Every structure is written in structure tokens, then in C-alpha cells.
């Protein structure tokens, strides 16, 4: 399945947050400051997400990413929720 997080970060009114970047960039920052293994796989994902690229994962990796997003304590609800919804919507479209 593919993951595309090249989506703007929206405020509660559905307006893109100016200078907010994308959900992929937000997740890449979280990955970059986390202690995740295998580090090389996570680094490759973070670089691709930062660049706005679509990443391809299997079900195990998808579940790993969802679990990591759910566990990032520095993500706010508005950020975490948007990432999780994008992951879920992308999975349903596959």
C-alpha cells in the first residue's frame, strides 16, 4: 500500500495553516527526533516524507507507523488526528 502525506496541515476551520508545511514534513520531524528501530528504515521514510514523496509499505510497516504516530507525545491532537486520518483514508483507498 502507499502512503501520501503531502497534504497541508489544516486548522479547525479547514484552512491550511500558513507556513505549516505538510503532514509528511510534520511526521518526518517527529521520526527524526524519536528513538525508533530499525533506524535506517525510519530515516528513509522520514526523508521521503519530507520531500513529499509517496512511500510504499506492507501491512506490518503500516501498523508500525500508525503505532508510532499514536505514541508520539509531542504531537497535538489536531496534528496527530490529521496524520492518522490521512493514513486511514489512504489505506481505505488502496
pLDDT for 31-86, tens place per residue?
999 999 999 999 999 999 999 999 999 999 999 999 999 999 999 999 999 999 99
Compute CA distances 79 → 41, 53, 93, 94, whole Å: 23, 19, 21, 23
Cα–Cα distance for residue pair 94/92, rounded to 1 Å: 5
Q: Where are the domains of the chain?
A: 2-93
pTM over 0.85: yes
Amino acid at each position: 500500500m502507499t502512503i501520501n502525506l503531502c497534504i497541508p496541515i489544516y486548522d479547525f476551520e479547514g484552512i491550511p495553516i500558513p507556513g505549516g508545511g505538510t503532514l509528511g514534513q510534520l511526521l518526518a520531524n517527529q521520526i527524526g527526533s524519536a528513538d525508533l528501530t530499525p533506524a535506517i528504515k525510519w530515516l528513509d521514510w522520514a526523508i521521503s516524507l519530507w520531500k513529499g514523496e509517496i512511500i510504499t509499505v506492507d501491512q506490518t510497516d503500516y501498523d508500525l507507523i500508525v503505532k508510532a504516530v499514536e505514541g508520539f507525545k509531542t504531537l497535538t491532537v489536531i496534528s496527530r488526528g490529521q496524520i492518522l486520518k490521512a493514513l486511514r483514508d489512504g489505506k481505505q483507498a488502496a
